[in-house]
Amino acid sequence: MLELELQQYLHLEYPQENTRCEWKEFKNLKNSFCGDEKDDVISYVSAIANMEGGHLVLGVKDKTLEIVGTDISRLTFNGQPANTQSATFKLIEQCTYLSSEGLSID
């Protein structure tokens, strides 16, 4: 997918931040799964889960949806490079009551 196609997709599927959608830059995800309350992915996923679902769009600037991407090159779980599957398991592990049903990382 080209950047322009991604931008169009984001504007179509997630046109604004609201109670069901959060945009977060998180350019470097290395510390974003560390459990720092209100400053990491886990806190946002937990909050969205408590509101009965929603979407967290990473790698875009708040307010503008400008694509900045994320760097996962230094993110590891159990000494292994992170991927979408390991990140999903980490979220489920850290968010005790988070159901894996409907949880996806794309």
Structural domain for 52, as ranges: 3-94
pLDDT of amino acid 12? 93
Q: Is residue 99 part of a domain?
A: no
Record the pTM: 0.73
Report DSSP letters for 36-84, one per residue.
Answer: -TTSSHHHHHHHHHHTT--EEEESB-TTT--B---B-TT-EETTEE--H
Q: Is residue 106 part of a domain?
A: no
Number of folded domains that form the chain: 1
Chunked mean pLDDT (size 10), the chain, 106 residues: 88 88 75 60 79 84 84 76 81 76 76
pLDDT of amino acid 8? 92
Q: Is residue 46 part of a domain?
A: yes
**CB count in 10 Å sphere of residue 59:** 19
